[in-house]
Amino acid sequence: MSPVRRARVESLLVTPEDLASALHAIVVPIVERRREAAGITDEVAVSVDDVVLERPKNRDHGDWACNIAMKLAKRVGANPRELAQEFADALVQVDGVASVEVAGPGFINVRLDAAAAGALAKVIVDAGDAFGRNDSLAGQTINIEFVSANPTGPLHIGHTRWAALGDSLARVLSASGATLVSEYYINDAGNQMDTFADSILAAAKGEPTPEGGYPGAYIGDLAKTVLAEIPDLLERPDAREVARERAYALQLGEIRASLERFNVHFDVWFSERTLHATGEDGTSLIDQAVDRLREQGHVFDEEGAVWVRTTDFGDDKNRVIRRSNGVYTYFAADAAYYLNKGDRGFQHKIYLLGADHHGYVHRLKALAGAAGDDPDRDIEVLIGQLVSVNGARLSKRAGNIIELDDLQAWIGTDALRYSLGRYPADSPLALDPEQLRSRTNDNPVFYVQYAHARTNSVARNAASAGVDRSAFAPELLVHETESALLGVLQEFPRIVAQAAQLREPHRVARHLEETASLYHKWYDSCRVVPMGEEPVTDLHRTRLWLNDATGTVIRNGLALLGVSAPERM
């Protein structure tokens, strides 16, 4: 395509942002004039963010709808429909707008002309992997911590949900411009590690699991591996420490491998031991955390113990940070870890915790306040609900859990990740493996992946028939299914931004399902490849642009969910 043609196509495009800006420019002077005419002295401030565009559920109502007139009418003493009509009369003059109608109590329904709507197809194809990325969170530095299971056993079904959701959330945050680090907090300090070592040693000796120890065949497997590597383990005076450290490294390695197979990558693996380690000055990060909180004025001493006055920030009770015997509590490690994240440059911290951690919400927020941060701005604690899988069996290795590895082998990575990612985190979830393993339209991940594979099939058939993208005439995309498909493709960047801002990656999955549905309808109605001896025309070539644009959006969306986009199925 020539530079002149390319420039014309780009000038035709009317994005939701363009339309909102154009409407905002119309609204501001009209509102000001009406305010003065009504004798209203209070200023009526209107920002472009107040001009919210939505796609009508009924496509007969146009491409976009806006209720700005209904939001402002009372403030300027106007009738909503009359105000909406005044906006509409001006908006219809904007290039790329085909018609504007006022409906109901004052909705403004906008229809774009075919060229303006269709120009998007080329923009998407040209952008490729970058389409959908946005700068809505530019300038934000975010640390997101999720999974963080103890390194004393395999990952189970609860960890699986947070692995899928946490990783997808990290991807949409990054795609929205945030400077982000995903982090796994390794709980490798404390009594559970000694209990783990005792369980390994008991298995190595052929003895029963000690009371309160870790059961399961995986302990025996770890013990065999440790013995094979360290044959004299049981004769060594430091057997407990050696068994603990080697089994810990092996189990952590298994956790890392499980997550990588699940397409979950962590930028940082943070060891809790780092917080307890003594530096050259003889103090640990936990010691320093207590001193720093004391400097903020929220630490007090009582009955020999050291407390943090977390009730100052909404907690239900004050928290002990160091007991009267001098031993630090878990809260002390939480405090040191929170402060350490800030020291590493992360203004905003997101914690993803399991359903049994509701009590941590107020505690962590109060901790942020005690540290001098804003609990409403600088920290978020997201709680995930339980997930169950119909027919799932307990792990043969672990004995009392459903393992991630078993679920992945049974259901498949793509189906498992997609199904866990398409629901809000705060909703309990029951998965049907038979549905997720099926190759039917009842299986959401198959339905979306099949749409992507179909776009590739169409492109291959087009190449065989001599249809290429040498021409682009967006004004030819006038079929109703083309208008609907272009509308949903155009929303993709905004959906990604919303998913990031609301911490709801499931919005991407639902958008992909709508995109797939509209693509299949378009495929049934509009041909890219000519029939019989029909000649190749610019309409066929332009439809190939639309086909490839759809594939791009589906592929980019699946990538945000950590799911593959197959070219053939």
- Is the pLDDT confidence value at 393 over 70? no
Number of other CB atoms surrounding residue 61 within 10 Å: 17
204-218: pLDDT as tens digits: 999 999 999 998 899
pLDDT-derived band of residue 14, with 50, 70 and 90 as boundaries? confident
Task: Give Cα 153 to chain centroid, integer Å.
Answer: 27
Helix (H) or strand (E) holding 53: strand 53-54
| Average pLDDT rounded to a whole number, residues 414-439 | 90
Torsions phi, psi for 209 (to 5 deg): -60, 130
Sequential DSSP letters for 282-336: S-BHHHHHHHHHHHTT-EEEETTEEEE-GGGGT-SS-EEEE-TTSPBPHHHHHHH
Residue 247 CA to residue 200 CA, distance in Å, equals 8
- Tell me which residue of 224, 234, 148 sits closest to 188, measured CA to CA: 148
Q: Which CATH superfamily is domain 141-186+264-383 in?
A: HUPs (3.40.50.620)
* 398 confidence band (pLDDT: 50, 70, 90): low
Output the pLDDT for position 141.
Answer: 97
CATH number of 3-112: 3.40.50.20, 3.40.47.10, 3.90.850.10, 3.30.1360.70?
Answer: 3.30.1360.70
The reported pLDDT for the residue numbered 394 is 58
pLDDT of the residue at 4: 37
pLDDT score of 113 more than 60: yes
Domain segments of the chain: what residues? 3-112, 141-186+264-383, 191-261, 439-560
User: Cα separation of 14 and 115, whole Å?
Assistant: 9
pLDDT number for residue 8? 42
Two structure tokens written together for 297: 């004025």
pTM of the model: 0.89
Q: What region does 96 belong to: left with phi over 0, alpha with psi -120 to 50, or beta?
A: left
Tens of pLDDT, residues 57-109: 787 788 899 999 999 999 999 999 999 999 999 999 998 899 999 999 999 99
Q: What is the pLDDT of residues 469-506, one digit of tens each?
A: 999 999 999 999 999 999 999 999 999 999 999 999 99
Q: What is the pLDDT of residues 284-307, one digit of tens each?
A: 999 999 999 999 999 999 999 999
CB-based contact 542:477 (threshold 8 Å): yes
Instruction: Return the closest-CA partner of residue 122 out of 466, 478, 504, 472.
Output: 472
CB 82 within 8 A of CB 95: no
Burial of residue 197 (number of CB atoms within 10 Å: 0-12, 13-18, 19+) = buried
Task: Judge if 3-112 and 439-560 fold alike in CATH terms.
Answer: no
Beta strands in 77-205 (DSSP E): 97-103, 107-112, 141-145, 179-186
Which residues make Cβ contacts (< 8 Å) with residue 445, sequence separation at least 6? Answer: 414, 415, 418, 419, 436, 563
Q: Tokens 């501001």 sit at which residue?
A: 28
Which residues are CB-neighbours of 308 under 8 A, at least 6 positions away?
293, 298, 299, 318, 319, 321, 331, 335, 366, 367, 370
Q: What average pLDDT does range 415-438 have in this prediction? A: 89
Strands (E), 227-304: 268-271, 299-302
- CATH architecture observed for domain 439-560: Orthogonal Bundle (1.10)
Distance CA 335, CA 331 (A): 6
